[in-house]
Structure 1
Amino acid sequence: MTAIKTMACTIGATAVLLLAGHAQAQTVKMTAVAGHPVIFPWVKLADEFFIPEVDKRLAAAGSKAKFEWTKAWGGTAVKLGSESGAIKDGLAELAFVSTIFEAPKFPLQNVSYVAPFMTDDVAVMSKAIKNMQAKIPAMAEAWTKNNMIFLGGTGLDSYHLFTKTPINTLADLNGKKINAPGPSANWVKGTGAVAVAGTLQTYYNDIQTGVTEGALTFATGAFPAKLTEVAPNITKVNYGAQFAGALVMSKRVFDKLPKDAQKIVMEVGAEYDAKFATLLAATSASLMQKMVEGGAKVRDLSPEERKQWAAVLPNVALPWAKDLDSKGLPGTLVLNAFVAEIRAAGVQFPRDWSKE
């Protein structure tokens, strides 16, 4: 028996509606999974807010639906990047899906990574993606075709540059090796710096041993990684907040719920989305301050400098959009919509990635 089948047997026949009669409650067995542990804010909020709040409101409303939860956070049942598969295969009913680790399934949701320097406001970023999903069928279908109902989106706080030595001008980056994995490698092209792959787990050692001289990352990742111990100079480039994933529910389960329960689940999901943005903004600011108190030195780029830095980057957004167009996905439509959504929020950004 495969590991997946064994796990399925261990967890039990999930998503079973136990009906003891029309007048009695439906007890729905729910397995909640995430590859990240509960220490991460997106999982912590699902564990401490979404689940208990849904239960409380269902009881208060006298709903016929009642959830019986099994929590399997931190990769105990499903590895990071496999959460959507667990939902689709019926191994879980609630999950946090990291779209950045499942990019092949969610290419359109990753538009922010090819269009940096837009906004540092996670709430604005999350609302933009949510609005686009409501207007662009292909974005919404990325969830439904994988048996998921989108409940609430999350993001990462704005990326900055953490380096051994101060970066006073763009020219100071010339020749420096910087940890910038995946799509963020495009954010150093044209600056003279060299992108080096890595993760939050490797940045400290890479910088300490001289493999790199800094890293592109965000405050809520840099602080627990103790990055400023080896890279005490923070250049607040503000590459922007990034859409990173969503809390989702199995569509098979959701569709069988009573209408009142569906409404409650969606309402709490929207509140999860809003609370996450508030929590992340506060946490990011607090951790940045703690790094400064610990000896880190911060330099903010002026609007003129941000415009200069953005201008030297190659426009990878347009080729990204055209490549998706060629595959039958509305890449250009999504890129244009993303820029329009951020602009409509009143944000002034240094470069319009939808133009040459």
Structure 2
Amino acid sequence: MKFTSIVAAAIVLGTAVQAQDMTISQWTGPKHPVAVGYAPFIAKLTENGFNVQQFEGGALLGATPALAGIGDGIADMGMLAMTYFPAEFPNAQLVADMGLATPNNLAAMGAAIEYNLLDCPECLDEYKAQNVIYLGTYSTAPYTIISNVPIRETADLSGKKVRVPGSLWSRWAQKVGAIEVNVPSSEMFEGLDKGALDVAIQAPGALQSYQLWDAAKFVTTLNLGTYHSLSLMTTNRDWWAGLTDEQRQLIKDQAAQVAVDATIAYTEADTEALAQVDEHGVEVIEPTAAMNADKDAFVAEDLPIIVSNAESAYGVTDAQAKVDTLQGLIDKWSGIVEETGGDRDAMIERLNTEVFDKLPADYGMN
């Protein structure tokens, strides 16, 4: 756990501005990709008159208490993982269920942000009901198969005990004949080490961040989609209303940077971990064409289930139209990622022009 206090007087264009206190609470640690995204943002705030106190590692609010804590003003800003709150955010569960349809994390990030901010007024209403504001998301890198036995074909998963990160991957595990095991990520290492798990569905960076390479000696790089249904910069509405127009605009202007940097940091964590696998005796297995085809078939077959679950389990209306919209945005942002080559500055610019610049001046104020 870490507590960082950043206090500074700011001068904007040579004119002193009124200091604004701000508390940021993160349940992730100081080396997490979220911290990478937030660091330039906090520096920019500090330069412009904000007195920021940042709590990390759950020192102020944990992952589950974060929603009520931010809504009640214990913290002014922080992150939410939306699948922790299905009753409060039914529409966010639909976004999460599209994870296996995302080809890469930058496309997933862009699609989720545009959908929430411009195409889903019901989503924004759900945040308003909790007295918070949504200002974007990041996306994990694509999940893969990290295992203590080699997984070279889909059939190798049959009967294996698989730690799944959510209901979407539970359905996939059932489809391939695996035995789903629901344990928190903090228990992945022990499970793999003691044989309670054969497989953990995680991005390759977990080999390093969770030290899984000491318990699992194989990673099959089958793209099992992304986790991107988050609220990266969840903001208390009352605190937001107390800011000046200029202060609110400053935060909106930085939202794309936070999202892109956190998302890219996930990819860089994968690259760093995969560069060290030989030192830890981990074999990287490329998925066969048949494995990829099996996964693609599951994605196609699962779409009607996503629609049905959204309507029956979460009470989402017009679920098919929303799935179609999300799929169109995934295609759109896949094209943007290809066009920009995933360049950081280019992606920030496109997020601003395509999404954030289109927000009304009074966003979050009514």
TM bucket (normalised to shorter chain) is 0.7 to 0.9
What are the residue-to-residue correspondences of 1:92-171 with 2, within 5 Å? Answer: 92-133=75-116, 134-171=118-155
TM-score normalised per structure 2: 0.78
2:31 matches 1:39: yes
For 2:100, what is the secondary structure of its paired residue?
A: coil
What are the residue-to-residue correspondences of 1:135-214 with 2, within 5 Å? Answer: 135-183=119-167, 184-214=169-199
Decide which of 225, 248, 252 is 1:262's aligned counterpart.
Answer: 248
Task: Quote the offset at 1:213 in angstroms.
Answer: 1.5
Equivalent AA in structure 2 for residue 187 of structure 1: W
> C-alpha deviations, 1:283-321, integer Å up to 9, x for none?
222222222442211112245431223425794543343
Aligned length: 316
What are the residue-to-residue correspondences of 1:1-356 with 2, within 5 Å? Answer: 25-46=17-38, 48-56=39-47, 58=48, 66-133=49-116, 134-183=118-167, 184-245=169-230, 246-312=232-298, 315-326=301-312, 327-346=315-334
For the Cα contact (< 8 Å) 2:83–2:96, is it kept in 1? Answer: no
> C-alpha deviations, 1:36-66, integer Å up to 9, x for none?
22222213432x221111222x2xxxxxxx3
Task: Quote the offset at 1:344 in angstroms.
Answer: 2.6
Which stretch of structure 1 is more off in the superposition, 107-116 or 260-269?
A: 107-116
Equivalent AA in structure 2 for residue 164 of structure 1: N
> C-alpha deviations, 1:114-158, integer Å up to 9, x for none?
234323422111110111111121122222332222233112111
Q: Over the residues paired in the alignment, what is the CA RMSD in angstroms?
A: 2.4
For the Cα contact (< 8 Å) 2:151–2:220, is it kept in 1? Answer: yes
How far apart are the structure 1 equivalents of 2:26 and 2:77? Answer: 9
Task: Quote the offset at 1:330 in angstroms.
Answer: 4.1
For the Cα contact (< 8 Å) 2:72–2:236, is it kept in 1? Answer: no
How far apart are the structure 2 equivalents of 1:253 and 1:51? Answer: 17
TM-score normalised per structure 1: 0.81
Equivalent AA in structure 1 for residue 327 of structure 2: V
How far apart are the structure 2 equivalents of 1:345 and 1:44? Answer: 22
How far apart are the structure 1 equivalents of 2:165 and 2:77? Answer: 29
How far apart are the structure 2 equivalents of 1:120 and 1:346? Answer: 7
Identify unmatched segments of 5+ residues in structure 2: 1-14, 336-366
For 1:68, what is the secondary structure of its paired residue?
A: strand
For the Cα contact (< 8 Å) 1:34–1:74, is it kept in 2? Answer: yes
Larger Rg: 1
